[in-house]
Chains A and B, each alone.
Chain A
Amino acid sequence: MSLLQGLLRNRKALVGAGILIVIVLLAIFAPLLTEYGPTQRVGRPHQPPSADHWLGTTRLGYDVFTRLLYGARVSLAVGFGAGLLITVIGTVLGIIAGYKGGVVDEVITFFTNMILVIPNLPLLLVLAAFIGQASPLVIAIILGFTSWAWGVRVTRSETLSIRQRDFVKSAEMLGESSWRIMSFEIFPNLISIVGINFIGSVIFAVITEATLEFLGLGDPNTVSWGIMLYNAQNASALSVGAWWELLTPCVALAVLGLGLALLNFAIDEIANPRLRTGGMLARWVGLVRAGEGRL
């Protein structure tokens, strides 16, 4: 059963994908859904939600709903962009290290382990602090180049076991070039690991971008969910009672997190059938239990 078929049959995956699709559509059609611009002062400061401003206004008089829609673009772009970068670097290095072995493997593994033990968040903070006000693009690039280590480790160990299989041996006998073996024999067998790595990296990138921006390391002129949090915190939104300014990006990030979590969970279930709820093992245990009661 391929990963895609499995996903289509899994209810959690469908709900997760549904949430993501809705957010993507809202982001794409932002200009059609709201009459205001995201950086346009359209009302008095800190207006509560009303018919004119569905989610109220910020301290600067921006429309919160509009910023929510446009902010989704940046948050999604950074999440998926950085997630893709992390996954590509991790997968490529992992396959090369696992298949080539020898010195290449040792060098890659050494750097991977080193990055794994240097704590990620402080490293990112130091980098971002020196860069100053990091734009979303810069944040995505920093994330991509500092966070691939976990992917390399997992991909490498899986490649090591696939390398021993017969079809790889026979491809080697046939004299296929090593890059061809790596990309057409080994890579297709790693799809589910790549999928878990990708979704996990997207979650990580979304969370980290929001955190860095909340901490004031982002560019305050961008319109993103992290910057919305930062502005709300700076405007002391909670103490002046403007809960809509702060809770809107919070709920948005939580919903996005929920969608990604469901997808992650589903891929994990499909990739490791043992962990699946209601699988063969559980049914067997159920049978045993039923028997126990009667004896």
Chain B
Amino acid sequence: MIFLLRRLAFYLAAFLAAATINFFLPRLMPGDPIRMMFASAGSELSLENLNALKLTFGFIDAPIGEQYLAYLRSVFTGDLGRSIKYFPLPVTDLLGRALVWTVGLVGIATLLSFSLGTFLGVMAAWHRGTRLDTAVSLSSIFASSVPAVVVSLIMLFVFGYTLGWFPNGYAADPMLDPAWSWTYLSSVIYHGTLPMLTLVIVLTGGFAVTMRNNMINLLGEDYIVMGRAKGLSDQRVMLWYAARNALLPTVSALAISLGSVLGGSLVAEVVYNYPGLGNTLYQAILARDYPVIQGQLLIMTGAMLVANFLVDLSYVLLDPRLKRA
């Protein structure tokens, strides 16, 4: 219990740190921070609206300490300000719309990559030293050493432009109205395939390498030898003795990468013009829509912290020693 409380306090501090970065960055930059934050708003904002926006970000006539508290107050009450590009739209609404697409696309891609990567990792570790192992390990490391931009662009070039198998952008046919109809859903699936494939290529390698290394370290354990000596089948030793135990650290890696789902797959969404969180962030960068950019950092940090906390929780459940600590 004390362990969990300590972790909770730590995560609160980390969230506070992210908020503090958001607060101080515009003030550390040369020039007028207010002008910098709201420059692109131009004359479209009425004075009243601009003042409300300033208040949200703590730009008040008061010592810096009070400004900081004012900013924290708005963050912890869930007020992330309003988008400047799409003014009066609150940042939380803007991000909420994009969230659905990202969770669908990246969430499914992460789960697919996890299953595929774990399977490949188990096979590579079990047949270590063979060609299969070399092929799996090398291609995994290669896939994680190439920028996701490059993978996305090459996939788009080959399957989108050259072969013409898949559409080049958007989450669904723009002519269709969103509805729970088969035509609309099939269009969503058709448009999502290429970004999904790209993400699976980018993500699978990491899971495969982690699983392989965990499992190879376990294969030297006595209980594996014992299992073989008992005359158990290869498959039983591989899956029920080695893979099951090696899975534990990989599951925590899965939780962390599900936590970073909200970061989206910035690059894939931009390349395929997919309306998720990553693309929203990209559009905000182009328009220098600072409230949206800062809101994204906070939301992503929050999601990451929740995922980490769930990992801690699962450790307490799985490892009884921590309950007493």
Contacts and interface: CB of A to CB of B under 8 A. Distances in A.
Interface of A: 12, 110, 113-114, 117-119, 121-123, 125-127, 129-131, 203, 206-207, 210-211, 214-217, 229, 238-239, 243, 246-247, 250, 253-254, 257-258, 260-262, 264-265, 272, 274-275, 277-279, 281-282, 286, 288
A229 B142 contact: no
B149 A125 contact: no
Contacts of A216: 285-286
Nearest to A264: B141
Given A119-B301, A121-B266, A123-B297, A247 B154 contact: yes
A274 B217 contact: yes
A211 B148 contact: yes
B21 interface: yes
Contacts of A125: 281, 285, 293, 296-297
Interface in B282-302: 282, 285-286, 288, 290, 293-294, 296-297, 300-301
B136 to A, nearest CB: 11
Contact of B129 (A119, A217, A279): A279
B81 interface: no
Given A118-B304, A126-B22, A127-B25, A253 B147 contact: yes
A17 B304 CA distance: 36
B202 to A, nearest CB: 11
Interface string B139-179: 00110111111100110110011000000100000000000
Contact of B147 (A122, A123, A207, A286): A207
Interface of B: 10-11, 13-14, 17-18, 21-22, 25-26, 29, 36, 128-130, 133-134, 137-138, 141-142, 144-150, 153-154, 156-157, 160-161, 168, 212-213, 216-217, 219-220, 228, 260, 263, 266-267, 270, 281-282, 285-286, 288, 290, 293-294, 296-297, 300-301, 304-305, 308
Nearest to B266: A121
A229 B285 CA distance: 17
Contacts of A210: 147, 149-150
Nearest to A202: B145
Contacts of A275: 212-213, 216
A126 B157 CA distance: 30
29 contacts: A12-B138, A110-B10, A113-B10, A114-B17, A117-B301, A118-B304, A121-B266, A130-B290, A131-B29, A210-B149, A215-B270, A216-B285, A216-B286, A238-B156, A238-B168, A243-B157, A253-B149, A254-B150, A254-B154, A257-B146, A257-B147, A261-B144, A264-B141, A265-B141, A272-B213, A277-B128, A277-B130, A277-B133, A282-B128
A258 B13 contact: no
A277 B148 contact: no
Contact of A278 (B22, B129, B301): B129
Contacts of B36: 130
Contacts of A214: 147, 149, 267
A217 B266 CA distance: 14
A260 B228 CA distance: 38
B149 A229 contact: yes
Contacts of B142: 257-258, 261
B16 to A, nearest CB: 10
A277 B134 contact: yes
A113 B305 CA distance: 11
Nearest to B219: A281
B294 A126 contact: yes
B159 to A, nearest CB: 12
Contacts of A278: 129
Contacts of B297: 119, 122-123, 125-126
B188 to A, nearest CB: 23
Contacts of A247: 153-154, 157
A126 B25 contact: yes
Contacts of B266: 121, 211, 215
B263 A118 contact: no
Contacts of B157: 238, 243, 246-247
Given A123-B297, A215-B285, 7 more contacts: A119-B260, A129-B288, A215-B282, A250-B153, A257-B145, A264-B141, A288-B228
A282 B14 contact: no
A277 B129 contact: yes
